[in-house]
Structure 1
Amino acid sequence: MDKDRIEGAGKQAKGAVKEGVGKVTGDTSMQVEGKADKAEGKVLNAVGGAKDKARDSD
């Protein structure tokens, strides 16, 4: 598994927690940060998946 996929999964989890805390506390900026972290995590996960696929096809 590529390190980007691991980092992406971590960012997605962190973003989900931030977003949840933001909802509970009513902090919209924390919610937005959480959504941004989740999106960045998804991108990193996709990049890592592409790297894994390229490496496996060789």
Structure 2
Amino acid sequence: MSSDEKDVNEAHASCRGPGDRFNAELKNWPASSKIRSSPNRAAELVATAQTLMIANT
């Protein structure tokens, strides 16, 4: 792999990492499986939680 490709992969991984970590942690949240609102509302709640978690890291 060329040096440029390695640099691109590293940049991509650094952008992707926080979201991947959040999604892995979300699977362990008991409340995430008990959301009884509409799917759109649940998506908004998850997106908000993800934003807050990433901002605090």
TM-score by length of 2: 0.37
Rg larger for: 2
